[in-house]
Every structure is written in C-alpha cells, then in structure tokens.
Structure 1
Amino acid sequence: MTDSNLPPQDPNAAPQPTPAAPLSHEQDVQWGSFAHLGGILGILPSLIIWLVFKDRGSFTNTEGKEALNFQITLVLATVALWVLTTIITVVTFGFGYVFSFLTYLPWVIGVIFSIIAFMTAKDGNHYRYPFALRLIK
C-alpha cells in the first residue's frame, strides 16, 4: 500500500528536531528546587529554568511557576517601594531619602524564602510561598 496522499519529501530539507526526553524523578526534583534557588539571583534563573524544563517534568513545571510568581511579586514590590521612596523624598525635600534602604527589603525577603523553598523542594516536597501573586497558572 502506498501513501500517495502524502506530499513528497524534500531530500535537502533539514531533519525535524526530536522532542526533549522527559526528566527522571531525580532530575525533575533537582531542576524544580534549582528554580527556587535561582531566585537569589533575581527573576531570570527561575524564568529560564521554567521555560526550558516545564514540558519535561511536572514537578519542575509546578515549582518553576511558583518560584517565578514569587519573583514577579518581588519585582513589583521593589518597583512600588522605589516609587514610594522617591515620592516621599521629593515631598519632604530629601528627608525621605532615609527610607531608601526599604527598596532592598524585597531582595532580602527573596533570599530568605528562596533558600527555604529550595530546602523544601530538594526533598521532593512542593513549596508554596506565603505571599505571591499567582499570575502564571
């Protein structure tokens, strides 16, 4: 039986990439926990890990989304604090500059919670941050 309905194959065409292999349980837990730990460096490590491995492991997908949502929350909090500090500084003719250290508070909180999340996730347990905007479902 011939496949006359199929279009002819171009012999010079590039081969189609094969889909990535699913992660083993150990790899899935490892990358899921690294998504949390990457939060120490900011939003990019969590984003990259989630984008690369989200389709290859369910644990990494879940934990990567959770870490990314938390990092997005921290970025928004940092921007809000920066704007608030700037407004207070302008209104009080420079006195509000004393509160500029508050803009570092989200980063400190992020480091603490990222380490706690990593320690929980590395054992294969899901971690849910106590406060995070769940923007990525």
Structure 2
Amino acid sequence: METSISKDERMWGMFCHISAFAFFIFPFGNIIGPLVVWLIKKDVYPFVDEQGKESLNFQISVSIYAFAALLLSIILIGIPILIALFFFDFILVVVAAVKANDGFNYKYPLSIQLIK
C-alpha cells in the first residue's frame, strides 16, 4: 500500500471501479458510473484521475468487445463469448476495486487506452 494516498482518495479510486456495476441498473451504466465519479473527483485526487481513466478505458473496451460478440452471436459463437466477457468484466472490476482501495494503481488487461 502506498502511504502517500489518503483513505478518501483510495475510497474514491475504488468507487471509480465499483460504479461500473451500475450496468445492472441501467444501460451503459458501466461507462456512465465511472465517468460521473471520475469527472467529480479527478481534479481533487490525482489517484482518482488515474483510476477513473483506467476504469473508463476498460469499460469502453468491454462494451466494444460485447458489441463484436453480439454480432458474432448471429453465427452462435458470440453467446459463449458474451458469457465469458461478463465474468471477465465482473472479476476484474472486483480485483481493481480491491487494489485501488489498497492504494495500488491497477492496470486492466486487454484495455484499449482511449482516454489518456
């Protein structure tokens, strides 16, 4: 754990990741949730700025992958990919939230870096 990162900063960094679960409440919540947290706290906490960008990049990437899998579901290969993608997203969001709460800058695998 990095000691220079305050408890509040770590908590908001964790919220950047956890807010992606807003997808269960409304469409595109996985992008809107982290975007709202990031926009509100990015200028207050540098750690939240980093974690917000990571979360947004990953959720946008997952949405792109899900759209591609949806197109592939026409030939039935996309359905297993969508299921695997759901679990991949869920598990990595939990891991990233725990790491952020511990003060570590988590980098998602397979994330397209659209926001720098």
Normalising by the smaller structure, the TM-score range is 0.7 to 0.9
Matched, 1:130 2:109: yes
Structure 2 counterpart SS, 1:60: helix
TM-score normalised to the size of structure 1? 0.70
**Structure with greater helix share of residues:** 2
Rounded to whole Å, the distance in 1 between the matches of 2:92 and 2:13 is 15
Over residues 41-71 of structure 1, what are the superposed CA-to-partner deviations in whole Å (9 max), with x where a residue is unaligned? 3222111111111111100000010011000
1:47 aligns with 2:28: no
Greater radius of gyration (CA): 1
Query: Which residue is equivalent to 2:18?
Result: 37
Q: Kindly indicate whether the alpha-carbon contact (under 8 Å) linking 1:50 and 1:65 is maintained by their aligned counterparts in 2.
A: yes
Aligned amino acid, residue 59 of structure 1:
F
Give 1:17's aligned residue: none
Return the structure number with greater relative CO, CA threshold 8 A, min gap 6.
2
Structure 1 residue 107 displacement after superposition: 2.1
Contact residue 72 and residue 78 of structure 2 kept, 8 A: no
- The number of aligned residues is 105
What is the Cα deviation at residue 100 of structure 1? Answer: 2.3
Where in structure 2 are there 5+ consecutive unaligned residues?
23-29
Q: Which runs of 5+ in 1 are unaligned?
A: 1-23, 89-95
- How much does 1:25 deviate? 2.2
Coordinate RMSD, CA, aligned:
1.7
The 5-angstrom pairing of residues 1-137 of structure 1 reads: 25-41=6-22, 42-86=30-74, 88=75, 96=76, 99-137=78-116
Distance between the aligned counterparts of 2:42 and 2:78, measured in 1? 39
Q: Decide whether aligned partners of structure 1 residues 71 and 78 sit closer, same or farther in structure 2, where only a CA change above 3 A counts.
A: same
Give the fraction of aligned pairs with identical amino acids, expressed as a percent: 31
Residue type at the aligned position of 2:6: H
TM-score normalised over the length of structure 2: 0.82
